[in-house]
């Protein structure tokens, strides 16, 4: 039996505040995570010999290791005692080191799919507990809805977000999450907020009209506490953000970067902004010694994970 083209969607941090630091090295965060339509694709073949194997589409992301995908499969075997195996094929579309949760999403999709394929029957809460052993973001993708996230990422409350579209810009660099969180200059004492402070409003920018003539969504909640550190450590990220701002876009870093995003009311607006910036991208890259912007993508916010109904509550 084979499961074909299973989606592993990316996420955006609509804001990210670092509110504390635990003795074990983990940081305490507050954020709103939103799933978006930009997605990796995973196919899984059932193996009856108990072995697990994986291959990654090297043409898309040569540096992306399949380790977390195999770890997910092996961990589910260990937890459930399942004697079946699987071969997993991952086609990468989500930028690596971009702060979009691609590896965590791949692991979550594998857990949800194998839970169904192997008929191991774990509930959503139990599968989220298994996912947390792989990474702090994995439970969110199994939760599968927009969420106000706290702790190290394991505490989630549902938030209702409007249907919005996004422009995602990928600088030509991958960011080390550990390096950013380890910076001595990182703010670690932001004032905690309540979910009511966010009020389910995802807009974060002042009204701005891009060079395409598109007006962005508007409001003004929060910030990304990691953005200044990422910009200081990665000049290409700073240059790409400046370029987007020079073209009239209000943008914010997602997670620990490198990718950043702008928000729009309609898909057509995001696509128009994408086409304008994509046309300018090569000219901008030619001005420096190093390529600065890798790609510009348009996508839509998702109400829930496409595989959410595969898992019992």
**Residues tagged active-site:** 11, 137
- Tell the residue number behind the tokens 């507990």, with chain if given: 129
Cβ proximity of 306 and 112 under 8 Å: no
Indicate the length of the chain as a whole number: 313
- Tell the residue number behind the tokens 């549902």, with chain if given: 158
List beta partners, residue 72. Answer: none
Please spell the DSSP secondary structure of 216-259, one letter per residue. Answer: PP------BTTHHHHHHH-HHHHHHHHHHHHTT---EE-TTSS-
Burial class for 20, CB neighbours closer than 10 Å (0-12, 13-18, 19+): middle
How far apart (Å, rounded) are the C-alpha atoms in residues 86 and 103? 18
């Amino acid at each position: 039996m084979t499961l074909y083209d299973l989606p592993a969607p990316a996420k955006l941090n609509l804001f990210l505040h670092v509110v504390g630091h635990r003795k074990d090295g983990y940081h305490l965060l507050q954020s709103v995570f939103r799933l978006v339509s930009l997605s990796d694709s995973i196919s899984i073949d059932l193996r009856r010999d108990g072995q697990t194997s994986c291959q990654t589409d090297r043409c898309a992301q040569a540096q992306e290791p399949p380790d977390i995908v195999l770890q997910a499969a092996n961990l589910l075997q260990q937890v459930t005692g399942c004697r079946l195996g699987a071969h997993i094929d991952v086609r990468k579309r989500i930028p690596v080191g971009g702060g979009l949760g691609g590896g965590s999403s791949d692991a979550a999709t594998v857990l949800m799919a194998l839970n169904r394929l192997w008929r191991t029957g774990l509930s959503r809460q139990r599968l989220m507990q298994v996912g947390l052993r792989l990474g702090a973001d994995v439970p969110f993708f199994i939760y599968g809805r927009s969420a106000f996230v706290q702790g190290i990422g394991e505490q989630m409350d549902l938030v209702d977000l409007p249907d919005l579209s996004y422009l995602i810009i990928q600088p030509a660099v991958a960011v080390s999450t550990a390096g950013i969180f380890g910076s001595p200059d990182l703010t670690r004492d932001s004032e905690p907020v309540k979910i009511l402070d966010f009020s389910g409003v995802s807009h974060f920018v002042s009204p701005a009209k891009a060079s395409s003539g598109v007006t962005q969504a508007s409001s003004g909640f929060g910030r990304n506490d990691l953005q200044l550190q990422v910009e200081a450590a990665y000049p290409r990220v700073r240059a790409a953000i400046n370029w987007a701002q020079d073209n009239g876009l209000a943008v914010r870093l997602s997670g620990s970067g490198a990718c950043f995003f702008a928000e729009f009311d309609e898909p057509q607006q995001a696509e128009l902004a994408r086409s304008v910036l994509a046309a300018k991208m090569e000219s901008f890259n030619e001005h420096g010694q190093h390529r600065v912007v890798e790609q510009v993508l348009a996508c839509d916010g998702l109400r829930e994970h496409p595989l959410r109904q595969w898992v019992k509550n």
